[in-house]
Amino acid sequence: MELEPPGSGTLYTKAENLKRLPEGNNLVLREVRLEDSAQIIAWRNDPVLGKFMTREKLTLTQQEEFFRSYQARADDYYFIAEFKRSRKPAASIALANLDFAAKRGEVARLIVDPGARLFLVEIFDLLLAFAFVQLGLSVVVANVQSKNGSAKNFHIRLGFQTEKISPKAWWNGDDVITFRMSREDYPRLKQAWSALLLDAREV
| Alpha carbon distances (Å) from 201 to 24, 72, 89, 99, 111 | 11, 36, 15, 36, 21
The beta strand positions in 104-192, using DSSP E, are: 104-112, 139-145, 161-166, 176-182
Neighbours of 58 (CB within 10 A): 16
pTM, 2 dp: 0.88
- pLDDT confidence of 5, banded at 50, 70, 90? very low
Q: What is the pLDDT of residue 2?
A: 38
The fraction of the chain above a pLDDT of 70, given in percent, is: 90
Q: How far apart are CA 58 and CA 75, in angstroms?
A: 23
Name which CATH class applies to 15-196: alpha beta
Rounded distance, CA 21 to CA 92, Å?
A: 15
Distance of CA 120 to the CA centre of its chain: 10
pLDDT at position 202: 59
Residue-level pLDDT at 16: 93
pLDDT (tens digit per residue) in 47-61: 877 776 766 788 999
Across the chain, mean pLDDT equals 89
pLDDT band at 201 (very low <50, low <70, confident <90, very high): low
Q: What is the pLDDT of residue 24?
A: 94
- The residue-averaged pLDDT of 59-85 equals 95
Residue 3 pLDDT > 50: no
Phi, then psi, of 183 in degrees rounded to 5? -60, -35
The reported pLDDT for the residue numbered 48 is 78
Terminal CA-to-CA distance of the chain, rounded, Å? Answer: 29
The pLDDT of 105-132, averaged and rounded, is 95
Lowest-confidence pick of 14-18, 116-120, 152-156, 193-197: 193-197
Mean local confidence (pLDDT), 161-181? 92
Higher pLDDT, 195 or 122: 122
Q: How confident is the model at residue 173 (pLDDT cuts 50, 70, 90)?
A: confident
Q: Encode pLDDT of 123-153 as tens digits.
A: 999 999 999 999 999 999 999 999 999 999 9
Q: What is the pLDDT of residue 8?
A: 36
Rounded Cα distance, 158 and 148, in Å = 16
Question: How do the domains of the chain map onto residue ranges?
Answer: 15-196
For the four alpha carbons of 124, 118, 197 and 25, in that order, the dihedral sign comes to negative
